[in-house]
Amino acid sequence: MKDEVIDLRNTPLISPQSIRSPKYALRDFAGILVLNGEIVLRTNKLAHDIQNDYESKKLVLVGVLDGSVHFIKDLSEGIGIPIKRTFIKVSSYRDNTTSGEIELHLNPMINLNGMDVLIVEDIVDSGKTLQFIIDEIKQKFNPNTVKTCSLLDKAEKRAPGFENVVADYTGFIIPDEFVVGYGLDFADNYRGYRHIAVLKPEVFSK
Ligand code: PRP
C-alpha cells in the first residue's frame, strides 16, 4: 500500500554540530533537514511502491542531471525488478530569465520508444522543469507511459499555471528554504554532502 508523503514543513532542523560534519557544514548550514538514513529509508519505500506498480512493465528510470544522481542510485538499488537507467540534462530557466525557456541539453542514451518511463528528479520547485520534461519526453520519444518521481517537493513554490504539477512518487514535502546536499547544490557546491541541509541566507545572498 502507498503511504502518505512525509511532510517536513514543521520539522526542527538538526544542528550540524550534533553529528560528524565537515567544517564547511558548520560554517554554511543553518541546520540539517533530512539525515541520510531517513533519505535511504524513504527511498526504499518509494522503490518498493515502484517495484509493485511496474512488475510487468518495461521500466526505464530517466534521471535529470545533475541533482538526481545520488537519489537515482539509491532508488534503482532498491527496485528488485529488471530496470534500465539513463539520464537527461536540461538547461535551467534560471539561467535565462528573460525568455523563461527551458531546453533539453542531453538526450536519453536509451531508446524510450514503447518503454514505461519514470522521470527521476531531486526536487520540484516551481514545477516548470518537470512539466517541460514530461511534455518533451512524450512528444519526442514515443514512450508507452510517463510518470514522475521526486525526492523533494517544495509544494508552496509552484509557479502560476503549474499548481497541478505533482510527482507520482514523492519522498518529502519540504519548507521554502534553500536546500543543498545529497545531489542538490548552490553554485555547484555541496552536492557531495550526504544529508539534506538548509543553507544560511547569508551564503546564497552574498
Ligand atoms: C533543479 C532541480 C530541478 C529543477 C526544479 O535543477 O534538479 O530540475 O531545479 O526547479 P523548478 O521546479 O523550479 O523548475 P537545477 O536547474 O538547479 O540543475 P541541477 O540539477 O543541475 O542542480
Q: How far, in Å, is the centroid of ligand 1 from the Cα of 184?
A: 9
Query: Which domains occur in the chain, in start order?
Result: 36-175 (3.40.50.2020)
The model's pTM is 0.95
Task: With beta carbons less than 8 A apart as the criterion, state whether 45 and 3 touch.
Answer: yes
In the prediction, which pLDDT does 91 show? 86
In the prediction, which pLDDT does 101 show? 83
Is any ligand 1 atom within 6 A of the Cβ of residue 34?
A: no
**pLDDT of 16-45, one tens digit each?**
999 988 999 999 999 999 999 999 999 999
- Which H, E and C letters describe 162-186, residue by residue? CCCCCCCEEEEECCCCCEEECCECE
Residues catalogued as catalytic: 125
- How far apart CA 70 and CA 136 sit, in angstroms, is 24
Q: How far, in Å, is the centroid of ligand 1 from the Cα of 165?
A: 14
Q: Using 50 as the pLDDT threshold, list the residues of the chain that sit under it.
A: 96-98
In the prediction, which pLDDT does 92 show? 73
For residue 157, the ligand 1 atom closest to its alpha carbon is 13
Is any ligand 1 atom within 6 A of the Cβ of residue 92?
A: yes
99-103 LR contacts (CB < 8 Å, sep 24+)? 100/128, 102/128, 102/129, 102/132
Is any ligand 1 atom within 6 A of the Cβ of residue 123?
A: yes
Question: What count of other Cβ atoms lies within 10 Å of the Cβ of residue 200?
Answer: 14
In the prediction, which pLDDT does 124 show? 98
Nearest residue (by CA) to ligand 1, atom 10, is 125
The set of cell numbers assigned to 93 is 530557466
Q: How far, in Å, is the centroid of ligand 1 from the Cα of 123?
A: 7
**pLDDT of 82-92, one tens digit each?**
999 999 999 87
